[in-house]
Amino acid sequence: MSETAATRARVLFVDDEPRVLTTMRILFRSRYELFFADGGGSALELLKTQPVDVIVSDQRMPGMSGIELLRAARELNPQAMRILLTGYSDLNAIIGSINEGEIFRFVNKPWSNEDLTATIARAVSAARVTQAAARPDSTPEAGGGPTPGVLVLDDDPQVPPKIQAILGGDFRVFGARTMDDAVGHLEREPIGVVISDTRVQDNPVVALIGTLKQHRPELVSVILTERADAGSAIDLINQGQIYRFITKPIHDSQCKIAVNSALKQHQRLAQSPDLAQRYQVERAPEPAPGAVAGQALLERVKTLRSWVRRWV
């Protein structure tokens, strides 16, 4: 039995190209209640009166970029899942969308209709499951156990003590220079936030971050790096649902704000497990044949116990 208009999910598509909006109408008119806007301004006016479950926006539009739109839309309709369509690699724009728009997925143009359909379906499902639990502006209640720790994964041994100095004595910061050391800390300590470079010992961390998010969804990841590229940033959001992106050299106030926010997000996820649906990740590619050590590390991640009940 098909859903009625009253129960259908509401999806807003924003693009300045009429042919794209026409394509979206054809693809999704039988699935959802659809709304369309040809630019950021008209989309925001619509959102003032029409709350939606999912917003799908192009990035490159005249007057207002997709990231600017999604940032403003987050204020008007914070529960909506946000998807960005992008046909070019602009690292600053991608970092902005992570830090300010909290994007659920990036979808590269030209897209596959099958992949786009599946992505929007996942976003709709996440929106429906988490609307009651999602309270982005709420302050989590303090738990009775130990404050969750912050794990810093970086080749540079000076980074963890620097972050400890920035955060102050109220925070417990653990340093790791290899992914194996990082997993060891996660096995022993109640970690709430992982701060990591995009590569450690010249190995990308996306598989580790993604596997952590799959098996410990309450963990919140922040990427700290000076050598990011647009492709790795997109992989980290789609496969790892990273929460914030900080560029080196470290700016003290930016770092402290990001980590404080990440810890509050960790507590929200720990207290309301349904919220984890909003941060589902794509399955990361399997390690290359012969990468026995990498596969063994990911298997250890899958067996990590949750520390949530110890401090919530």
Tens digit of each residue's pLDDT (9 = 90 or more) over 168-177: 988 999 999 9
Summary mean pLDDT of the chain: 84
64-78, 140-154, 205-219: range with lowest mean pLDDT: 140-154
Most confident option among 272-276, 280-284, 297-301, 308-312: 297-301
37-41, 98-102, 143-147, 266-270: range with lowest mean pLDDT: 143-147
CB distance 309 to 247 below 8 Å: no
Name which residue leads in pLDDT, 99 or 188: 188
- Beta strands 203-204 and 105-108, pairing class: unpaired
Looking at the predicted structure, is the pLDDT value of residue 190 above 60?
Answer: yes
% of residues, the chain, pLDDT over 90: 45
AA letter at 86: T
- Going by pLDDT thresholds of 50, 70 and 90, the confidence category of residue 232 is confident
- Going by pLDDT thresholds of 50, 70 and 90, the confidence category of residue 227 is low
CB distance 7 to 30 below 8 Å: no
Domain boundaries, the chain: 10-130, 149-311
Of 118, 117, 119, which is closest to residue 104 (Cα–Cα)?
119
pTM: 0.79
CA distance 120 to 104: 10
pLDDT of residue 299: 85
105-114, 133-142, 182-191: range with lowest mean pLDDT: 133-142
Looking at the predicted structure, is the pLDDT value of residue 248 above 90?
Answer: no
pLDDT of residue 178: 93
Inter-CA distances, 219 with 153, 171, 269, 279, 307, Å = 14, 16, 8, 11, 10
Mean pLDDT, range 201-210, rounded to an integer: 88
CATH number of 10-130: 3.40.50.2300
- Going by pLDDT thresholds of 50, 70 and 90, the confidence category of residue 88 is low
pLDDT of residue 181: 94
Q: What is the DSSP string of 51-67?
A: --SEEEEES--SSS-HH
Mean pLDDT, range 3-32, rounded to an integer: 89
Q: What is the DSSP letter of 154?
A: -
CATH number of 149-311: 3.40.50.2300
Sequence-distant (6+) residues with CB within 8 A of 60 are 66, 86, 87, 88
